[in-house]
Amino acid sequence: MLEKYLDIKPEIKQSLAENKPVVALESTIIAHGMPYPQNVETAKRCEQIIRENGAIPATIGIINGILKVGLSAEELEIMGKSPNMMKVSRRDIPLVVAQKIHGATTVASTMIIANMAGIKVFVTGGIGGVHRGAASTFDISADLTELANTNVAVVCAGAKSILDLGLTLEYLETQGVPIIGYQTDELPAFYTRKSGLKLVQWCENIEDIASIINIKWHLNLKGGVVVANPVPEEFAMDFDYMTNCIDNALKKAEQLGIKGKETTPFLLAEIKKITQGKSLDTNIQLVFNNAKVGAMLAKSLSKFDTDLSK
Note the CATH number of domain 2-301. 3.40.1790.10
**Quick one: which of 38, 193, 24 has its CA closest to 123?**
24
283-301: per-residue pLDDT in tens?
A: 999 999 999 999 999 999 9
Average pLDDT over residues 198-202: 97
Confidence (pTM): 0.93
Name the H helices within the chain.
10-17, 28-31, 38-52, 73-81, 93-99, 107-117, 134-137, 142-149, 165-174, 206-218, 239-256, 263-274, 278-301
Check whether 173 has a pLDDT greater than 70.
yes
Check whether 205 has a pLDDT greater than 60.
yes
Work out the mean pLDDT of the chain and round it to a whole number: 94
CA atoms of 266 and 286, how far apart (whole Å): 20
Categorize the per-residue pLDDT at 310 as very low, low, confident or very high, splitting at 50, 70 and 90. Answer: very low
Categorize the per-residue pLDDT at 3 as very low, low, confident or very high, splitting at 50, 70 and 90. Answer: confident
Q: Which residues pair with 60 in a beta bridge?
A: 69
220-258: per-residue pLDDT in tens?
A: 999 999 999 999 999 999 999 999 999 999 899 889 988
Check whether 309 has a pLDDT greater than 80.
no
Residue 41's pLDDT is 96
Residue 263's pLDDT is 81
Question: Taking the CB of residue 122, how many other CB atoms lie within 10 A of it?
Answer: 29
Domain boundaries, the chain: 2-301
255-280: per-residue pLDDT in tens?
A: 998 877 778 788 888 998 999 989 99
**Quick one: which of 125, 140, 163 has its CA closest to 32?**
125
Asked if 290 contacts 42 with a C-beta cutoff of 8 angstroms, the reply is no
**Pairing outcome for strands 86-88 and 103-105:** parallel
CA atoms of 79 and 32, how far apart (whole Å): 9
Catalytic positions: 26, 160
8-19: per-residue pLDDT in tens?
A: 999 999 999 999
Check whether 83 has a pLDDT greater than 90.
no
Average pLDDT over residues 97-126: 97
State CA 293 to chain mean position distance.
Answer: 13
